[in-house]
Amino acid sequence: MLWDIFCRVIDNFGDIGVCWRLSADLAARGHQVRLWVDDASALRWMAPNANLKGMNGIEVLGWEQSKDAQQLEHRRRADVWIESFGCEIAPEFIAYYATPMGAAGQFDSGKPVWINLEYLSAQAYAVQCHGLPSPVMHGPANGYAKHFFYPGFTEGTGGLLRETDLKDRQSRFDAAGWLKQQDIERRPSESLISLFCYEPPALPMLLQQLADGVKPTRLLVTAGRATGAVRRAISHNNGLKPLWNERGTLSISYLTALAQTDYDHLLWSCDLNFVRGEDSMVRALWAGRPFIWQIYPQDDGAHEDKLTAFLDMLTAGPALRQAHHWWNAPDTSGPGALPPLDTWGEWQESVQTRRQRLLQIDDLTTQLVGFVEKKGKI
């Protein structure tokens, strides 16, 4: 099938990250994908082997091109339209392809399956709303219907992105070899922690706690906002206590921007992973290692209910819940602190248990293909 996937990059590249993983997974299964995106610059490091003029079944196109009739003239209408995360397909695109004789009569009057791919949530509404239609009542697409498609953690949702070869790649992965390629030499008995974050107020305290620990720790900091946040936190700690890491217990390695496959490798190599947003949280689940998720904060506080639902799904114990709420707190003025990190074993058990259950649910791509085949006339 031919899939049109539409993506607007809001911030933090989570949108394009999910859309690229989905595009790559569809292409790996023999489908053709056109990814229409308003900013493809992140793909230079996220998917460095991608040829933006078309490679392995994926064609990356600019958002403005979707509004240009001359650009659309020689392109056949796709079998599937996917609006990712509430972005809306350009009216010009809809008008062009909603007319049966649009692309020089290249297609018949059949309608594409139109999907609104929603954000991931463990809340109950994901099950309640998954698959529901939303009829289009006006305009050139009058008579079409969009369908809400909710990724999720349970039966009755659309599942999670998971490549068909994921388990095999994990079983063959050489962590020591990969770390060596990144010029990271692990000290004896050293714990490795990956850090992918926004700017959590608790970060200076985390650095201090790791520096005060008995066991040596190396923090592997991802490029971008996490690197900036760590450098500011170090400056903050230096101002309060210049010798806060005088024993050298905490070592810090700043990473270059990682391709998606290398980010997976980072998660598989570490003893604990700090992740943020949607895509990296899913990858942390598949890594099967203890992790702490920084949820994207919303002004109305809706993210708090979303975080609680996620922890309930994970059947998280008290220490893991406390760690998440501490890491996601808007400031450090309230009571509490990060629980001792020697509870990692308990955390890993929660993650491994949920991971095994999730592996029994069809992945997102499989479910999308099945949904399209059921709704369309493929």
List the catalytic residues: 15, 278
Residue 278 token pair = 């949607």
Q: How many helices (H) and strands (E) does the chain have?
A: 15, 12
How far is Cα 66 from Cα 141, in angstroms, rounded to an integer?
16
**Residue at 247: amino acid letter:** R
Please choose, from the candidates 16, 21, 35, 6, the residue with its C-alpha nearest in 3D space to the C-alpha of residue 286: 21
- Locate tokens 């933090």: which residue? 12
Long-range contacts of 42-46 (CB under 8 A, 24+ apart): 42/9, 42/13, 42/16, 42/17, 43/16, 45/257, 45/258, 45/259, 46/13, 46/16, 46/17, 46/20, 46/257, 46/259, 46/260
3-state DSSP assignment of residue 204: helix
For residue 19, report the phi and psi dihedrals to the nearest 5 degrees: -65, -35
Other C-beta atoms closer than 10 Å to the C-beta of 252 total: 17
Q: 8 Cβ partners below 8 Å, 6+ apart?
A: 15, 37, 38, 63, 84, 85, 87
What is the SS3 assignment for 265? Answer: helix
Look at strands 291-294 and 272-276 and give their pairing.
parallel
Give me the residues paired with residue 3 across strands. 33, 80
Question: 3-class SS at 55?
Answer: strand
Rg of the chain in Å (alpha carbons): 22
Task: Return d(Cα 112, Cα 121) in angstroms, integer.
Answer: 27
What is the DSSP annotation of 13-50? THHHHHHHHHHHHHHHTT-EEEEEES--TTHHHHSTT-
| Ordered DSSP codes for 186-249 | PPTT-EEEEE--S--TTHHHHHHHHHHSSS-EEEEEPTTHHHHHHHHHHHHHHHH-TTTTTT--
Q: Which residue type is seen at 352?
A: Q
